[in-house]
Structure 1
């Protein structure tokens, strides 16, 4: 495995898990924010926001994402749509969608 492949392994695993969990929990949304967006070449961790409708769905996201968050330096924040809207988190933190679009902009590793 090359150095570039090693560097991309956490993000690739994260994207795979986000897509899997997003399909399990309808209407959930996942975003990347923080240093992975602002300083992608030097990010020490990956900050992820998940937005889900119910408390049960939010807890399921934590459960389903546990392994990938334990394997890699991934910080997971989960909010309801009302919580996200109240602080306009996606806009304020310049979040980039991971799911349902599953497209990360090209400047993110």
Structure 2
């Protein structure tokens, strides 16, 4: 019983992390897992999204770590994700969203990279 409730809790946390991604923004599967308190569980995040049936979930804001859409190019899922992202003002080129690199940690955010 505890394993089932743990699985349900992980699913709930992943879905909450996806819902928290603002319109016009994207996140990688690993980033979603980290935000859900499940570092290293990017595949779990992908599996949860693949099995989700909530039409209100902004699944289209989740990409591979390199910014690519996970669906095969030309598939209906690929086209739908591109359409939804573009409708939110996200620039999609050749199935990829280029994101600015953020700081790796708090020190880098405060002090910046070493010169």
TM-score (norm 1): 0.33
User: Which structure shows the bigger proportion of residues in strand conformation?
Assistant: 1
TM-score (norm 2): 0.31
Larger relative contact order (Cα-Cα within 8 Å, sequence gap ≥ 6) = 1
